[in-house]
Amino acid sequence: MTSLIIGLGEIGLALHKILKDEYGDKIFGYDTAHPEPIPEHHVGILHICIPWSKDFINIVEGYIDVAQPIATIIHSSVPVGTTKKIKGKTFHSPVRGKHPNMEDGLKTYCKYISFDDMDLLDAQELAGYFTKAGILTKVVTDTKTTELGKLLALARYGVYIAFAKEQEDICEKFGVSYHKAVTDFENTRNDGVEDKLKQPLLFPFDKFIGGHCTVEDMEIVLDQYETPLMKVAYDIGRNTKVWENCNIYDTAKIGKGCSIGGGSEIGHNVVIGNNVRIGAMCFIPEGVVIEDDCFIAPKVTFSNDKYPPSKQECWGKILVKKGATIGMGSVILPDVTIGENVLIGAGSVVTKHVPKNERWFGNPARPHEVKDA
């Protein structure tokens, strides 16, 4: 039976390799970044391994329309109730494992397969399909069970790590060694109790909870059902500070380990990566994407309108790439890309693309060599 895997990230690639080792040329993969041709002949199983997004259901059903599979398996972490909304014979089968060795995880952890309003024999047939490839499986009814099970597993892990960070802060407050007060203390306690009473012992994170699943899965749960403990752990794990009097649109996406200065405005659908520092009183409107590790000094203004007010008819986008620095009071005009590790001097007006690693300043900004002092 031909299988098509949509999404060739860590999970998709690991699943692709395991299934291809067993089923050979019956396994195909497709990713928007590295596409293989989608098979023109009939697809038996469609595997969905793409991240959750607000358009997830529409995207998946678009692939279903193209592939016309007998069955679709959602491997992604999704909000509770998502799988049942997707048309056709659709199953949920969350992935468990540790990055980056997802192939080992797929073969080590039991892979649940859940279904709604379908013949149990169909799910059992899929279980045999995975088992033949070396993946241990278990069939359960109700896709909400596995959807919530995966989300809560990551949420628990996130709470544990967040509390480890809290313990580290408390130890620093009292001038006590974290290793002695927590690690050694709990290790010796765990040695003296039966397995069911042992407690998890995790180490504090540095800047934020890393990876791309723990905090993200906590966010999916909080969007549907907010609890005080998980919300605090989520905020600790993100380690992003938003200072007072900021106006941030609900649709804006702000990464982990960020600082947003007081009085700044972050507009509709703005995307800000991880480890980004934004100074006070910055204006960042719709159409701006700022990648990881950037520094935006105070009073920087981004413009998305070439001929204001054009009522969005003349809007343009701005991309600030990884590691760029934009000096205080600069103005960035629409349809501009600022390359990786660029330095924009204070008070500059940027009107055109800036290549990576260059130093620009002035009005309009132009490239300048940086001379040694």
pLDDT computed for residue 35 by the predictor: 64
Q: Which CATH architecture has domain 3-141?
A: 3-Layer(aba) Sandwich (3.40)
Query: pLDDT-based confidence at 101, cuts 50/70/90?
Result: confident
Dist. CA 34–CA 30, nearest whole Å:
7
Cα 54 to chain centroid, rounded? 13
Question: Which token pair is 187?
Answer: 């290790």
Dist. CA 306–CA 263, nearest whole Å:
24
3-141 and 156-237 in the same fold: no
Query: pLDDT-based confidence at 192, cuts 50/70/90?
Result: confident
CATH number for 240-373 (one of 1.10.3720.10, 2.160.10.10, 3.40.50.1100, 1.20.1260.10): it is 2.160.10.10
pTM of the model: 0.86
Mean per-residue pLDDT over the chain, rounded: 93
pLDDT computed for residue 36 by the predictor: 65
pLDDT computed for residue 86 by the predictor: 97
Cα 77 to chain centroid, rounded? 11
- Kindly list the domain boundaries of the chain, sorted by start residue: 3-141, 156-237, 240-373
Dist. CA 235–CA 35, nearest whole Å:
36
Report whether 108 contacts 82 (CB < 8 A).
no
Indicate the SS3 state at residue 111: strand
Question: Which token pair is 147?
Answer: 């959807």
Residues 234-286: tens digit of each pLDDT: 999 999 999 999 999 999 999 999 999 999 999 999 999 999 999 999 999 99
Query: pLDDT-based confidence at 302, cuts 50/70/90?
Result: very high
At residue 119, does pLDDT exceed 80? Answer: no
Helices (H) and strands (E) counted in the chain, each on its own, are 10, 26
Query: pLDDT-based confidence at 373, cuts 50/70/90?
Result: very low
Per CATH, domain 156-237 is 1.10.1060.10: no
Tell me the β-bridge partners of 295. 277, 325
Nearest CA among 311, 318, 319 for reference residue 292: 319
Indicate the SS3 state at residue 302: strand
